[in-house]
A and B are shown apart, each in its own frame.
Chain A
Amino acid sequence: MVQKEAEKILETRELSVNMGPQHPATHGVLRLVLDIDGETIVKVTPYVGYLHRGIEKLGESLSYFQALPLTDRMDYVSAMSNNIGYVVAVEKLFGIEAPERAKFIRTIVGEMSRISNHLLWLATHALDIGAMTVFLYCFREREWLLDLFEMICGARLTVTYPRVGGVRNDVPQEFLESLWKFTDEFPSRILEYETLIDQNRIWLQRTVGIGIISAEEAVNMGMTGPTLRGSGVPYDIRKHKPYDAYDKVEFDVPIGTTGDTYDRYRCRMLELRQSNNIIRQLIEKLPPGPVMAEDPKFILPPKDKMMPITHPTKDLAYFILEKACKGCGMCMRACPAKAITGEKKAPHKINQALCVNCATCLVTCKFKSATVVPGGKGLSDEKLAELAVAPDQLPEDIKQAQQLLVRQFEFIKKGPKAPEGELYVATEVPKGELGFYFVSDGTGKPFRMRLRAPSFIHASCLPRLCVGHLVADVIAAIGTIDIVLGECDR
């Protein structure tokens, strides 16, 4: 009887534990509800959406150029790769091609961001499992890479360096020298990390045999990237559908066999070495040339051609011809410095003290009454009235600069008119396959911008990886699928 009572009191039930959105070991705001029986996991339910910012809807209200910084903030750990994915997709939509040098530079920074991402992955994965030294060592290398990023574009994390049609600016020579030195020293650093954890008994016990998934199941669930290649599927977009300069370099792709956490770890470590090799080949083969395409229908005009009429230090003065001015007031409304005054139907006047030389009035005026006087800075209004000529009679380079400025204003305000159609382009970011699906209706803003994020799919595979293991293996599983919540929730 005591036995029966004891059994009634000691009935075992499944316990539901919440690993809340705010947790030191989940990489970001991921919420998991674990149903556990003792210490073994019966069911895992992930809840995402705590970082959903509405990037897809925001992209529909911005032009193609303006939506580029939004993609930085998705996978903020490897921002260059996201930008490259977006830029490759938009270039294919427009039907333009970046120059050779720009493609090589984009591939170089793409591989640098791959190394940077894998270093951060290793640092956090090892820290969660317990190897704290690896965290500090990996961040030492990462600081070097982030300093290199800062050297080329001024920002460490959310760069917006790859642009539609090429890259923002050319790389300085010291960048290439420092990067070459990095590739010389990096293999010995990888050896350091591997010495610490590769054959370590604790590491092997915590990663071998954890989260095994077979090749067919992994493909069926939509996994991509190193998470898929650890299970033995040779799917790498850099080889299947090469973009940028990936068809001009030779590299191997590490493929695993068993599909457990250890294989995925080894895949990523070998990818570090391969990326190092790719960067060395690219620096050797880097061709000279321009870094931005010149296409009048889709690309912003080069800034130096517009300088004759708008550079602030140039000796220019803007003037409204009284005879031609109809007094419609359009330039007065458009002037950002509020330097134009005048009554309706009466000729307007520009206040030279307030004018900032932005050329908005020159571009807005339909009656060709606003004109520019080269060399007229500081002169009085009467002298300017003598010197000013009608816009048709200005010198050639000023007229060309005006055309380019009109194009610049249109592209910034309304966006370049993309051809109608739809497109899906996928690129290989460090985490997997990042896909962009654009539906364009012929205007400068995308009608539908869909981002297919690898972290979203991998987070849905988490229940399948954790069933049957212990609670501590959930942390190892989250580390191995390498998710970043900014990308998962968009």
Chain B
Amino acid sequence: MAVTEVRISIHTTGLDPKDIAEKIKGQFPDQVIEVAEFRDQVSVIIKRDQVVAVLKYLHDDPVLSFDHLQDLTAVDYKGKKDIRFEVVYNLYSTRYRHHIRIRAQVPENDTKINSAVPVWSGADWHERECFDMFGIEFTGHPDLRRILMPEDWEGYPLRKDYPLKGPELDKDWPGFTDVLKRSKELREFDWEG
């Protein structure tokens, strides 16, 4: 029951992100497509076939020890790149304080990738949100359904070809248009008889 106040040091002991990228390349040489660097942060772009193996290696290896999945999201590169979607994993080690980013490419005609829930259970809702917003299916996910939009919404909002203002009123979500119709009828009802 005791809560103590600890003076954590600011000193970092982690590996350089480029070394981590080299280790990944050494372990999975045929999966890595590219290593990009920007402002001291390194991204490793891989193919989607063995993404769970790569993540498991990063999680279990005692020197790397990436135990904290900071973020799991997707980016839609419509028109800018050949392979349209990329699922981005931002990983962090709370022990060694180093950070790496993994980007797995997902093509447009086959938007499926293996789920990371066996490695981190916190990836659950992140993957549901990716499915909701982009339409990327995660095979092996325990309960893949929409989370932020209503369950029977049509369309994937964060894709680049989805309009910002949403669908037109006549093609809108039936839950909303039904309420509008009903409230209009009640407003115009002749109570006096």
Q: Do chains A and B touch in the complex (CB under 8 A)?
A: yes
Cβ-based interface call for B135 (8 A): no
For residue B99, which residues in chain A have a CB less than 8 angstroms away from its CB? 424
Q: Which of B52-103 contact A (CB under 8 A)?
A: 67-71, 73, 75-76, 80, 88, 90, 94, 97, 99, 101
Chain A residues near B179: list those with CB within 8 A. none
Any B CB within 8 A of the CB of A172: no
Evaluate contact between B90 and A435: CB separation under 8 angstroms.
Answer: yes
Q: Is the interface of A mostly helix, strand, loop or mixed?
A: mixed
* Cβ-defined partner of B97 (8 Å) among A219, A241, A267: A241
Mask: chain B, 33-51; 1 = CB below 8 Å from A; 0 = not: 0001011010100000000
Using C-beta atoms within 8 Å of the partner chain, give the interface range for chain A. Answer: 35 or more
Q: Are A254 and B73 within 8 A (Cβ)?
A: no
* Nearest-neighbor residue (CB-CB) of A61 within chain B: B164
The stretch among B5-13, B23-31, B106-114, B180-188 that forms the contact with chain A is B5-13
A255, B3: Cβ atoms under 8 Å? yes
Q: Which of A49-57, A312-320, A349-357 lies at the interface?
A: A49-57
Instruction: Give Cα distance in the complex from A439 to B148, angstroms.
Output: 22
Partner of B147, one of A48, A93, A220, A263: A48
CB distance from B73 to the nearest CB of A (A): 5
Within 8 A of B (CB), among A439-458: 439, 441, 447-448, 450, 452, 456-457
User: Is A433's beta carbon under 8 Å from chain B?
Assistant: yes
A220's contact among B7, B67, B148, B149, by CB below 8 Å, is which? B67
A388 within 8 A of B: no
Is the pair A439, B75 in contact by a Cβ cutoff of 8 Å?
yes
Q: Give A398 to B88 CA distance when docked, in angstroms.
A: 49
Interface digits, A255-271 against B, CB 8 Å rule (1 contact, 0 not)?
11110001100110010
- The smallest beta-carbon distance between B130 and chain A, in angstroms, is 11
Give chain B nearest CB distance to A14 CB in angstroms: 18
Chain B nearest CB, measured from A415 CB (Å): 17
Given contacts A240-B12, A240-B97, A252-B7, contact A262 B1 (CB under 8 A): yes
Bound together, the chains give a CA A233 to CA B8 distance in angstroms of 11
Contact in complex: B71, A58 (CB < 8 Å): no
Chain A residue with the shortest CB-CB distance to B146: A49
A234 CB-CB contact with B under 8 Å? yes
Residue A222 at the chain B interface, CB threshold 8 Å? yes
23 residue pairs A–B, Cβ–Cβ below 8 Å: A48-B147, A49-B150, A57-B158, A57-B162, A58-B164, A93-B39, A95-B39, A219-B94, A222-B126, A223-B122, A224-B68, A241-B12, A242-B10, A250-B7, A252-B6, A252-B7, A254-B5, A421-B36, A423-B39, A448-B75, A452-B73, A460-B122, A490-B148
Q: A459-B125, A460-B124 are in contact. List 18 more A-B contacts (CB 8 A).
A: A48-B147, A49-B149, A54-B157, A57-B157, A217-B121, A220-B121, A222-B68, A224-B68, A235-B68, A252-B7, A255-B4, A422-B41, A422-B43, A437-B88, A439-B75, A450-B73, A457-B125, A460-B122
